[in-house]
Structure 1
Amino acid sequence: MNDLAFLPLGGTGEIGMNLNVYRCDGKLLAVDCGIGFGGPDNPAVDVMVPDPAWLSERSEDLLAVVITHAHEDHVGAVAHLWRSLRCPVIAGPFVSAVLRRKLAEAGLGQDVELITVPLPSRRTVGPFDIEFLRVTHSVPEACALAIRTRHGTVLHTGDWKLDPHPLLGPPTDEAAFARLGEEGVLAMVGDSTNAMVEGHSGSEGEVRRNLQALIRGLKGRIAVTCFSTNLARIESIALAGQAAGRDVALFGRSLRNAVQAARECGYLESVRDFVTEEEAGFLPDDNLLVICTGSQGEPRSALAKIAADTHPNLSLGEGDTVIFSSRMIPGNERLILHVQDELTRRGCKVMTADDHAVHVSGHPARDELRRLYSLVKPKYSVPVHGEWRHLSEHAGLARECGSHPVLIEDGDILRLAPGKVDVVDSAPVGRLAVDGSRLLPLEGAVMGARKRMLFNGVVVASLAVDEGGRVVGRPRVSAPGLFDSEGPEPEQIADELARSLGDLPKGLRKEDEALTEAARAALRKAIGRRVRKRPNVEVHLLRV
């Protein structure tokens, strides 16, 4: 099609799983490819990725995936989805350093064409003329994309903020955005995360000063948790520890990988080498500061293990302090509060951004959004990267700033040019659960069965029958999560099963499939009378 269109396959109307597609004259360009977390709505799932089916069906027209920055909700799905996309990946130096490790772990290190571009820079990909613009975010080398086409220019902001003192890297390049505004911008596809927050998001420089003052006055062991790719924050924590005479250790694989990638790119030069996890356990309490993963309460993270006292190298207790230098991502509240409660139970003092100035957001609050609109002057505004309340607030602000807002959600195909800006079609969207090395549809049979087992349990029965369909011996029934294996219920249910099958017509008992289904029905009935649940039922039939 000879048009310019925008299609979000993930990340619009939700937090996380960002996957955006631009179409120009029939050719496709993807921007970002990230993960999301299961949360309380999907307790059987740890990590999810957007379903790339629509894009993979058109892979011959997909020119590249461009990554705006190194956060997991923008880059974490590349290794999971690349086999469906099979196109070059374009990214800045730090994203490339992070991504190379992910691809190597997935066995794709030699397969993916990873194109590293300097920042700022400009590159032509088919009908797309892409300019990489420097922005500040809570990770180094974040960029916005000015996407020029023969139909007009679109600014894809990615994640950004205005911070006069970002600590790592230069501030957002406001002059470049002003030049773009003078040139003329058809549409701005923009970050909505903090569109409900008045004022300014704050500065990393302020957090550094606060952390140094706070850590200097603490005794005992100190653990600080933050996002593993927030290198300015990691540097601030490490420097505060060093200034207080403490050795600093990293706990968590993603932290170690991020720090290694950062050092490759020339960051963290002022930070001394970190001590190992093994060494940390032997240091005096007042000489140790730990930076650890787990700010979102992830069950397998270092901090979750420390809170549960199952970490092999470190325990925390009375007189120790844990600082959450992060915000709660919506959906993770229950997990985070559980970890904080466990730490408090162990005697630790827990400090958060609610009571100490130890975190600032990496996303723009309303004053920053107003400033960007005044520079770019887009004709149309397309809010993305947020739930519906965020998108709606962003749309209202865009209207105040003189831009025409267009609200869409995942799957909407928004034609930007030529003619009227409007949703002209839709694409199928969905979520896939990352299950080891597999990707499973969230609403598919396997995940559906897993959810039913989680809430309703599972019953497994094994029985032997002779050629006439008579039960030989007593069936074996197991119902983990429903009944105690040592209790009387499994045997009682086994006896009921045998009696029910004995009452069946002789002809039916000679057919394996019919007999198996009758056994399932009898088990469901027996379980339902006792616990009013509908568990997954499996029957193993052996004819002897």
Structure 2
Amino acid sequence: MSRERLIYLPLGGAGEIGMNAYVYGYGKPGKERLILVDMGVAFSDMDTTPGVDLIWADISWLRENVDRLEAVFITHAHEDHVGAVAHTYDQLRKPIHARAFTANIARRKMSELGLPEQAVQTVSAWPEQVQAGPFTVGFLPVSHSVPESAALVIDTPAGRIVHSGDFKLDPSPVVGEAFDPELWGSVGKSGVRALVCDSTNVFSPNPGRSESEVGPEIEKLVAGASGMVVATTFASNVARVRTLAEAGARAGRSVVLLGRAMRRMIEASMETGVLTEFPPVISPEEAQDIPRDHLMLIVTGSQGERRAASAQLARGKYRGLELAEGDLFLFSSKTIPGNEKEVIRIINQLSEKGVDVVDDSSGRYHVSGHANRPDLARVHALIDPQMVIPMHGEHRHLREHARLAEAGGRQGVVAVNGTMLDLSGNAPKVAAHVETGRTYLDGTVQVGALDGVIRNRIRMALNGHVTVTVILDEEDEPLGEPWCDIMGLPEIGSSKAPLVDVMEEDLNQFLMRSNQKTLRDDDRLEEALRRIARQTAQAEIGKKPEVTVVISRMR
């Protein structure tokens, strides 16, 4: 019996939605040659990651084994699959393979960070394949909400794996390839050891709807609007963006694309031939000279992102354009779980302006890009894998998907981030557990989850901050009284006196009665001052703030 094994290791995207990163390996235990599928991001929120720009999977394990890594394969151009390729390239330095549209987006990301665009290599669709060590990998076309999405057919000495990527069963997706059941069935004929499969919509009981069903409904809505029309959707949903633009053009409106991501996706689509035509668009400056009832704005920010065009229009003007009473704002998108508060904030701000808001609660203006429960069962039957490994979902999605597989007579196994599965035998088994976590892009710096930066920022946000400054002379005696600066705290406490005054008095009393041993020991003095500042704040305002103590000595 061969000592080689086939392993699967999710580093991100299994047990959560976002920041997908999946490792496959083949070889002797601990010496497997590896490939990485996807390197995506998640987005921050003010509650758990204030100030953070992007989040992606901690690739420490992969970095430690980078000499065994052969290549990176990207399934499609959504940010949760391609968004971190440039940010992690310096740590991996391996070729990145993708289809033309995804490769175009990946090269743009590399260029923005001054990295070599030639590291991204374009691969044609199946049956073309790429050799990467013991793996032979092909890109199997799937329909999704971004052009040229692909599942990966990964052939190994231990058998074939199909990694679904994100997909739906759409016979008429408007832009991109339709789902081809014969092609998928042919991939399964030679035998599939494991289907690693999208689980996002496993709880949706009805078959998924086609993108082509959305267009007529949007056209009716736009044609019946009296004021300016603004619509937001995912910038990567090129089919939807084109549908919106065509609806505006047919209603006799001039179309404006607002938001860098929106323009970038359309440019990439034209450059790669995904789109051969698109309605004429005008600039925001030109739009200011056109009557508002002849305008259609297509904008970024469908998930409530604070800096995107939707949020800025809801707050006030953006690029010289402003919403007014009687205008129509369409959310042609689904709100991703976790983004509800931000989206509702925008809806309320629009309502205050007298803008009529239409969302997706009716299901008429958006269809999902992910396979629903009956669609997943159909793909299980088409591929007929020995085992199904759910991915791309929260734990509840993975567990339910495993049950669906078992109901169809197949093995289903839940493997969350950090769970290394051995797929070599007749049944998957856990081979090891790997430490996984998150990496944060904070400004221009990458910080780890254990670095304490985000934790400290949250603590300051929750508790406020006090800076205590003390000066000691050459004899280690206080030179004047200590003083305090407060941030994020009420100025007046329960004693009705300024909080700073009460705190400074308590700190000064402590210094006046401190002995020389304490005054000479910076560590002891700092700890005592911090404790007193927090105790005073607790008594005055009911909070214990974070405290920074600055001790200056005259030498």
After TM superposition, the score normalised by the length of structure 1 is: 0.96
- Match in the other structure for 2:6: 4
- Match in the other structure for 1:494: 504
Q: Give the Å deviation of 1:259.
A: 1.4
Asked if 1:479 is matched to 2:486, the reply is: yes
Q: Give the Å deviation of 1:272.
A: 2.9
- Match in the other structure for 1:37: 43
What are the within-5 Å matches in structure 2 for residues 221-370 of structure 1?
221-355=228-362, 357-370=364-377
Mean CA deviation greater in 342-351 or 34-43: 34-43
Q: Deviations over 1:118-150 (max 9, x none)?
A: 123222211101121110000000000111111
Q: Give the Å deviation of 1:348.
A: 0.6
- Are 1:140 and 1:169, in contact at CA under 8 Å, matched by a contact in 2? yes
- Match in the other structure for 2:154: 147
Q: Distance in 1 between matches of 2:365 and 2:186?
A: 35
Q: Distance in 1 between matches of 2:317 and 2:228?
A: 17
- Are 2:499 and 2:540, in contact at CA under 8 Å, matched by a contact in 1? no
Mean CA deviation greater in 477-486 or 534-543: 477-486
Q: Give the Å deviation of 1:356.
A: 5.3
Q: Give the Å deviation of 1:485.
A: 9.2
What are the within-5 Å matches in structure 2 for residues 72-151 of structure 1?
72-109=79-116, 113-120=119-126, 121-151=128-158
Q: Distance in 1 between matches of 2:362 and 2:439?
A: 37
Asked if 1:537 is matched to 2:547, the reply is: yes
The amino acid of 1:494's aligned partner reads E
Q: Deviations over 1:351-397 (max 9, x none)?
A: 01103500000000112112111211011000010011211221121
- Are 2:69 and 2:94, in contact at CA under 8 Å, matched by a contact in 1? yes
Q: Equivalent residue of 1:201, what SS? A: coil
CA RMSD of aligned residues (A): 1.7
Choose which of 58, 78, 87 in structure 2 pairs with 1:71: 78
Q: Give the Å deviation of 1:292.
A: 0.7
The amino acid of 1:282's aligned partner reads D
Q: Give the Å deviation of 1:471.
A: 2.5
Q: Distance in 2 between matches of 1:379 and 1:59?
A: 30
Q: Distance in 2 between matches of 1:17 and 1:442?
A: 14
- Match in the other structure for 1:434: 441
Q: Equivalent residue of 1:474, what SS? A: coil
Mean CA deviation greater in 491-500 or 208-217: 491-500
Q: Distance in 1 between matches of 2:486 and 2:419?
A: 45
Q: Distance in 1 between matches of 2:526 and 2:461?
A: 24
- Are 1:293 and 1:301, in contact at CA under 8 Å, matched by a contact in 2? yes
Q: Give the Å deviation of 1:520.
A: 1.7
- Are 1:151 and 1:418, in contact at CA under 8 Å, matched by a contact in 2? no
What are the within-5 Å matches in structure 2 for residues 15-34 of structure 1?
15-25=17-27, 26-34=32-40
Q: Distance in 2 between matches of 1:251 and 1:162?
A: 30
Q: Distance in 1 between matches of 2:403 and 2:228?
A: 47
Choose which of 455, 464, 467 in structure 1 pairs with 2:471: 464
Q: Deviations over 1:468-512 (max 9, x none)?
A: 333223333111111339972112211221111221112221233
What are the within-5 Å matches in structure 2 for residues 149-188 of structure 1?
149-188=156-195
- Are 1:414 and 1:421, in contact at CA under 8 Å, matched by a contact in 2? yes
- Match in the other structure for 1:527: 537
The percent of aligned pairs where both chains have the same amino acid is 39
Q: Give the Å deviation of 1:308.
A: 1.0
Q: Deviations over 1:256-298 (max 9, x none)?
A: 1111111111233332332122222332111111111110001
Q: Distance in 2 between matches of 1:220 and 1:132?
A: 45
Q: Give the Å deviation of 1:41.
A: 5.3
Q: Distance in 1 between matches of 2:372 and 2:200?
A: 8
Q: Equivalent residue of 1:402, what SS? A: coil
Asked if 1:371 is matched to 2:347, the reply is: no
Q: Give the Å deviation of 1:522.
A: 1.9
- Are 1:483 and 1:490, in contact at CA under 8 Å, matched by a contact in 2? no
Q: Deviations over 1:289-348 (max 9, x none)?
A: 111111000111111111111534221120111100110111111111111111111111
Q: Equivalent residue of 2:302, what SS? A: coil
The amino acid of 2:36's aligned partner reads A
Q: Distance in 1 between matches of 2:69 and 2:262?
A: 33
The amino acid of 1:518's aligned partner reads A
The amino acid of 1:228's aligned partner reads A
Q: Distance in 2 between matches of 1:423 and 1:412?
A: 7
Q: Deviations over 1:141-166 (max 9, x none)?
A: 00001111110111100001111110
- Match in the other structure for 2:453: 446
- Are 1:133 and 1:173, in contact at CA under 8 Å, matched by a contact in 2? no
Q: Distance in 1 between matches of 2:331 and 2:208?
A: 18
The amino acid of 1:19's aligned partner reads A
Q: Distance in 1 between matches of 2:551 and 2:370?
A: 58
Q: Distance in 1 between matches of 2:514 and 2:262?
A: 62
Q: Give the Å deviation of 1:255.
A: 1.0
The amino acid of 1:38's aligned partner reads S
Q: Equivalent residue of 1:294, what SS? A: coil
Q: Distance in 1 between matches of 2:115 and 2:133?
A: 25
Q: Distance in 2 between matches of 1:327 and 1:290?
A: 19
Asked if 1:217 is matched to 2:224, the reply is: yes
Mean CA deviation greater in 26-35 or 445-454: 445-454
Q: Distance in 1 between matches of 2:467 and 2:244?
A: 52
The amino acid of 1:32's aligned partner reads D
The amino acid of 2:482's aligned partner reads P
Q: Give the Å deviation of 1:83.
A: 1.7
When residues 212 and 43 of structure 1 are mapped into structure 2, their CA distance, relative to the original with a 3 A threshold, is same
Q: Equivalent residue of 2:360, what SS? A: coil
- Are 1:461 and 1:539, in contact at CA under 8 Å, matched by a contact in 2? yes
Q: Give the Å deviation of 1:463.
A: 2.5
- Are 2:49 and 2:454, in contact at CA under 8 Å, matched by a contact in 1? no
Mean CA deviation greater in 459-468 or 10-19: 459-468
Q: Distance in 2 between matches of 1:312 and 1:182?
A: 55
Q: Give the Å deviation of 1:418.
A: 3.8
Q: Give the Å deviation of 1:40.
A: 6.3
Q: Give the Å deviation of 1:401.
A: 2.0
- Are 2:490 and 2:541, in contact at CA under 8 Å, matched by a contact in 1? no
The amino acid of 2:145's aligned partner reads S
After TM superposition, the score normalised by the length of structure 2 is: 0.95
- Are 1:249 and 1:275, in contact at CA under 8 Å, matched by a contact in 2? yes
